[in-house]
């Protein structure tokens, strides 16, 4: 990561990023650009450097911002028609922290509308293409952020991860993706999806850069009561695992998993052994229920969070109105996309009086069993290893008419999200077609830096 100094101008770093974004415009990684303000910010940093004033650890470093993070520059749309013209009066805490260190937001990255999706095909502004094959998906929901890093437009980007929205696109595009422990980074100023699993994380080209970004945005925030005290305090070299034992999750290495994906995970396990780790097969029976738990709890929270969009307070309001009911129904019908509506319907169903106990309450009890199952395994292992996704990036349009198949793509990323534990995706290999394949490292709560330390030992090997 290149930092501005007396020999390297912030303006030059930002201009180069903006030019590259235009060069790769066909990938549609960005919804909007922040060119004027970014260059103005860069000039301010250069002036401070000239005067010998402090400028921060990320002076002049350009970054992409997933368009569900609020900031006053441009419109915060969450890739939805509902927020197409929404100008935020506030700045997300994570963005404030990065800007305080001199980072410069050059544009807002594309995503599935409201982060509902696993391919960035559900964006109101159109899909994002994979950085390695324009006929394939970028992954989602943080597809634009992943592609912006993979194409070297920016050295890092912010994303959000509710059930795999950082890890899956990171794997599909061959970059590092960090989903931290729940509560590590403030959710203040980020458009809510599912409040009990939403976490803020990042994409980077390498582990060291990812660690730096996370160390800046982590920490307690009075505006988000779920945030944890800052535990991201170690140097990466000092965050060593105690046991040097890794569990290879066999539940995710069986039928239905692409052979190239299996080989990549096995090869990574072999590298871990060569680096001095013990790698043993582990079976966690509760994992097979995680996807079902997620697609009960998550839609319920989605339905609750999206209920505020009523066509009255803010967001899209229909022009086809004859009465108050039309304000609500027509505005929501026009403002939400099909996937948004699907999750609202599922969520309201499982929360309804006749099904609340049978579905939502039971899912939450099963969630506790899943957390306990992870805790038991982590008594013996520092971390767990598994694929990120059952296969490499699939073709654009392949799953758009099959929501169930799209949901099944989340089967390996959802379990850590439901347990609130950290998980990272790191590049590990390629398919026969040359598509990137990542592996997933999962650890107990607040072991985030240990996972990155493990990954750093194998990086480029």
Using one digit for the tens of pLDDT, what is the confidence trace for 260-318? 999 999 999 999 999 999 999 999 999 999 999 999 999 999 999 999 999 998 899 99
* 3-state percent helix, strand, coil for the chain, nearest multiple of 5: 40, 15, 45
Q: For the chain, what is the mean pLDDT?
A: 97
Can 341 be counted among the known catalytic residues?
A: no
Can 141 be counted among the known catalytic residues?
A: yes
β-strands 62-66, 199-204 pairing: unpaired
At 333 the three-state DSSP class reads helix
| Position 27 confidence tier, pLDDT thresholds 50, 70, 90 | very high
Can 329 be counted among the known catalytic residues?
A: no
The secondary structure element, H or E, covering residue 366 is helix 362-377
CA distance 260 to 272: 18
Choice among 141, 331, 425, 447 that is catalytic: 141
Tens of pLDDT, residue by residue over 307-325, are: 999 999 889 999 999 999 9
The secondary structure element, H or E, covering residue 291 is helix 290-306
At 177 the three-state DSSP class reads strand
Cα-based distances in Å from 343 to 22, 124, 246, 292, 350: 35, 16, 36, 14, 11
DSSP H helices in 1-120: 10-23, 35-51, 93-100
Choice among 119, 129, 165, 417 that is catalytic: 165
**pLDDT attached to residue 1:** 95
Strand partners, 200: 160
């Amino acid at each position: 990561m290149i930092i501005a100094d007396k020999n390297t101008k912030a303006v030059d770093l930002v201009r180069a990023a903006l030019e590259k974004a235009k060069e790769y415009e066909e990938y549609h990684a960005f919804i909007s650009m922040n060119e004027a303000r970014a260059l103005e910010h860069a000039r301010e940093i250069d002036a401070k450097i000239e005067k010998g004033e402090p400028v921060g650890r990320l002076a002049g470093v350009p970054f992409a911002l997933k368009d569900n993070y609020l900031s006053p520059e441009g419109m915060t749309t969450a890739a939805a028609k509902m927020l197409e013209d929404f100008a935020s009066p506030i700045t997300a805490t994570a963005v404030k922290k990065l800007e305080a260190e001199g980072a410069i937001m050059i544009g807002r990255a594309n995503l599935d509308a409201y982060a509902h999706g696993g391919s960035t095909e559900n964006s109101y502004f159109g899909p994002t293409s994979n950085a390695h094959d324009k006929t394939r998906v970028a992954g989602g929901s943080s597809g634009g952020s992943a592609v912006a890093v993979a194409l070297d437009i920016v050295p890092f980007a912010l994303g959000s991860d509710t059930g795999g929205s950082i890890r899956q696109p990171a794997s599909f595009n061959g970059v590092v993706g960090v989903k931290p422990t729940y509560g590590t980074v403030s959710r203040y100023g980020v458009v809510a999806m599912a409040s009990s699993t939403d976490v803020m994380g990042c994409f980077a080209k390498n582990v060291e850069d990812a660690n730096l970004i996370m160390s800046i945005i982590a920490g307690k925030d009075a505006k988000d009561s779920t945030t944890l005290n800052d535990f991201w305090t170690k140097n990466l070299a000092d965050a060593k695992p105690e046991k040097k034992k890794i569990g290879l999750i066999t539940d995710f290495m069986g039928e239905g998993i692409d052979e190239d994906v299996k080989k990549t995970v096995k090869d990574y396990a072999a590298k871990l052994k060569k680096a001095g780790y013990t790698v043993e097969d582990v079976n966690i029976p509760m994992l097979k229920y995680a996807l079902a738990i997620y697609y009960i709890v998550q839609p319920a929270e989605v339905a609750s969070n999206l209920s505020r969009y009523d066509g009255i307070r803010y967001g899209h309001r229909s022009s086809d109105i004859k009465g108050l009911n039309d304000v609500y129904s027509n505005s929501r019908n026009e403002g939400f996309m099909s996937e948004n509506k699907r999750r609202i319907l599922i969520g309201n169903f499982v929360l309804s009086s006749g099904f609340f106990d049978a579905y939502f309450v039971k899912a939450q009890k099963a969630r506790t069993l899943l957390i306990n199952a992870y805790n038991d395994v982590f008594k013996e292992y520092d971390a767990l290893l598994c694929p990120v996704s059952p296969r490499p990036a699939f073709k654009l349009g392949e799953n758009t008419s099959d929501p169930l198949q799209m949901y099944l793509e989340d089967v390996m990323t959802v379990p850590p999200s439901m347990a609130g534990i950290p998980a990272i995706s790191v590049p590990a290999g390629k398919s026969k077609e040359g598509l990137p394949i990542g592996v997933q490292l999962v650890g107990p709560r607040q072991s985030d830096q240990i996972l990155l330390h493990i990954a750093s030992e194998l990086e480029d090997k």
